Amino acid sequence: MKLRLCCVLAVLALSARASFASTIVIGGTGAANVFPFGANTYLGEYQQIYTSTAFSAPMTITQIAFETAFPGFVITDTFTLSLGTTAATPATPGSNYAANKRPDFTTVFSGIVADPATGSGLFDFIINLSSPFVYNPASGNLLLDVVIASDVVTPGGFTGFVFGPSPNVGRVFNVNGNGAATPGPNEGLLTQFSDTGVSTVPEPATLALLGSGIVAIASRRRRQAATR
C-alpha cells in the first residue's frame, strides 16, 4: 500500500505545471523600416532601448522576434545580439553605442538567422537566444544591441519591418546603413520578448487532485480494515 501511495503521489507531482511562458510586445507600429535586418546594406552596430516600465517583473528572455511588413523576401543575416541594462532612455538614446553599455552587457546570440518575410502580422523574424538573459527592470532600461556582419535580402532589394513612434522604445542606428551613429528618440521596431521560467509550485487544481488521491487511498484502507 505504501508503494501504491508513492506511485500516486509521483504521478500527481509530475502533472503539476513545470514551466510557464509569456511574451511582452514593445515598440511602434504604423510604418515600416529596413534597419538593421532588411536593408541589404546595413553593416555595423544598431541599438534599441526599451523602457523598464514596460516590464512588470523580472523576465528570463529566451527568444526575441520582429515582425516583417512585406511578403515575398528571404532575409539572411549574420549578426551578434547582446542584451544589458542601460541608463539611456527611449527619449534620449544618445549617439554613442559604447556609452549605453554597462558591465552586465552580455552576448546572447551569434550566428545566422534566415527567415522568409511573410508580412502576415506575425512575429516571423525569430531569434532564439543561445544564452538566456535575466532582465530585472529595477536595474534600468533594457538595451538591445545588434552588430550586423552580413545583411542579405533576396530577391534583390530590401524589405521593411513593422516600426513606428512609441514612448517605450528609442534607437541608435548607422545613418545610411554604414555612417555615423544617429539617435532615433521614441521610435523603434515592434519587438516581442519571450520568457520561459520554472515554477516549482503546483497549480491549485493539481493540489486538489493530490489531496483527493490521498483521501481516496486512506478511505480504501479504512474499508479494508473494517472487513477483516
Tens digits of per-residue pLDDT, 43-67? 999 999 999 999 999 999 999 999 9
Element (H, E) at 134: strand 125-135
Rounded distance between C-alpha atoms, residue 24 and residue 139, angstroms: 18
- Per-residue model confidence (pLDDT) at position 217: 43
| Residue type, position 227, single letter | T
| Residue type, position 56, single letter | S
The answer to whether domain 20-198 has CATH 2.60.40 is no
Q: Are 196 and 21 in contact (CB under 8 A)?
A: yes
- Per-residue model confidence (pLDDT) at position 170: 98
**Closest Cα partner for 52 from 137, 135, 134, 136?**
137
Q: Band of the pLDDT at 21, cuts 50, 70, 90?
A: low
Residues 154-190 have pLDDT tens digits of 998 899 999 999 999 999 999 988 899 999 999 999 9
Residues 2-14 have pLDDT tens digits of 444 444 334 333 3
Find how far residue 45's CA is from the centre of its chain.
Answer: 20
Q: Band of the pLDDT at 27, cuts 50, 70, 90?
A: very high
Instruction: Choose the weakest-confidence range: 75-89, 156-170, 200-214.
Output: 200-214
Q: Are 186 and 91 in contact (CB under 8 A)?
A: yes
Strand order in the sheet with 73-86: 106-117, 73-86, 141-154, 44-50, 169-174, 181-184
Cis peptide preceding 155, ω within 30 of 0: yes
Per domain, the residue ranges of the chain are: 1-18+203-228, 20-198
